[in-house]
Amino acid sequence: MIDIQVNNISKRFSKQGEEILKNLSFKLDAKDKIGILGPNGAGKTTLISIICGILESTKGEVSYHENKQSLDYQEFKKVLGFVPQELALYQELTPIQNLNYFGAMYGLSKLAIEQKADVILNKLGLLKVKNNKVVTFSGGMKRRMNLAISILHEPKILFLDEPTVGIDAQSKNAIISFLNELNADGTTIIYTSHHLNEAEMLCNKVLLIDKGEIVEYETIENLKAKTNLKSLEEIFLALTGIEYRD
């Protein structure tokens, strides 16, 4: 069971530049489904990138724990899955070829990849096209393939940055259902999106940030009770305002 503690994280991209994140502290608990939400420019992707070790913070630190025992970053990487906003796969390869390639990068044996690949592709509705080039796939199929690659090594914590952008309602529903299954089996889900209805379907808790600061970190149920509002979208607009964002 992986817990992540974020302690006083700040980030600026140059010495004289504006702070993108401002002294953030919070804990991500094992088995949660947490939505990191905010308007454009709030710092969501930057925050996820720091937690995953893709970016370094300017100040503060992130610590990782498994069953209350400290993990170093190299150990954490082995149990981390990351689904980026951009497609991170080779479109001229087939699903099987992609899984063989990325599985080897994860350090999985050829036998382990063979045992896992068909199971994952079947769950994501891609088994029948496992030998077709990804370039021939629809947008929703490519998104599902992106997800398949990220969970091949059975991560204990999965970060998703806009995982359903640009796809149809059926594919969104399929992905959300699959993520709920993963969570029920013990995978922690950390998710960011502009689709608030989708976030409400998936997440039990939200970390709402705006202008690099935490506005709220609470369960959706408690936020509804606190604000006396009925939907996550209403809560989001009430707490961050309705003006245009660039």
Q: Are 203 and 1 in contact (CB under 8 A)?
A: no
The reply to whether 245 falls in a domain is no
Tokens coding 16 = 């004289």
Return the DSSP state at 2.
Answer: E
Do residues 169 and 184 both lie within one domain? yes
Does residue 34 sit in the same domain as residue 9?
A: yes
Longest CA–CA separation in the chain, Å: 54
Which residues does 30 contact at the CB level (< 8 Å), separation at least 6?
1, 2, 3, 156, 157, 188
Is 197 in a helix, a strand, or coil?
A: helix
Spell out the residues 6+ positions from residue 141 whose beta carbon is closer than 8 angstroms to its own.
125, 126, 129, 134, 171
- Whether 141 and 236 map to the same domain: the answer is no
173 in the same domain as 57: yes
Is the same domain home to 69 and 184? yes
- Where is the domain boundary, 154, 175, 201? 154
Question: 114-129 burial string, b = 16+ CB within 10 Å, else e?
Answer: eebbeebbebbebeeb
Instruction: Please give the Cα distance from 9 to 141 (Å, whole number).
Output: 36
Pair (111, 206) in one structural domain: no
Number of domains in the chain: 2
Taking the C-alpha atoms of residue 103 and residue 110, their distance in angstroms, rounded to an integer, is 8
Angle, CA of 71, 179 and 88, to the nearest 5°: 75
Q: Is residue 84 part of a domain?
A: no
Q: Is 232 within 8 Å of 59 (Cβ atoms)?
A: no
pLDDT on residue 85: 85
Domain shared by 66 and 110, yes or no? no
**Taking the model in full, what pTM does it have?**
0.90
Query: What is the model's pLDDT at position 124?
Result: 92
Distance separating alpha carbons of residues 217 and 28, to the nearest angstrom: 10
- Give pLDDT tens digits along the chain (246 positions): 788 999 999 999 988 888 999 999 999 998 999 999 999 888 998 999 999 998 999 999 999 998 878 888 888 988 999 998 888 999 999 999 999 999 999 999 999 999 999 999 999 999 999 999 999 999 889 999 999 999 999 999 999 998 888 788 888 888 899 999 999 999 999 999 888 998 999 999 999 999 999 999 999 999 999 999 999 999 999 999 877 666
246 within a domain of the structure (yes/no): no
49 lies in the same domain as 14: yes
**Within-domain flag for 45:** yes
Asked whether residue 234 is assigned to any structural domain, the reply reads yes
> Is 181 in the same domain as 235?
yes
Domain boundary among 154, 173, 208: 154
Q: Which domain holds residue 228?
A: 2-79+155-240
Q: What is the CATH number of the domain that holds 168?
A: 3.40.50.300
Task: Give yes or no: residues 160 and 46 share one domain.
Answer: yes
- Scanning the chain, the segments in alpha helix (DSSP H) are 44-51, 73-78, 95-105, 110-123, 139-151, 169-184, 196-202, 220-227, 232-240
- Has residue 147 been placed in a domain? yes
Place of tokens 């689904």: 83
Residue 69 shares a structural domain with residue 113: no
Question: Which tens digits make up the pLDDT trace of 81-110?
Answer: 999 888 899 999 999 999 999 999 999 999
The CB-based long-range contact list for 52-57 (8 Å cut-off, 24+ gap) reads: 52/80, 52/82, 52/159, 53/77, 54/82, 55/11, 57/9, 57/10, 57/11, 57/21
95 and 161 share a domain?
no
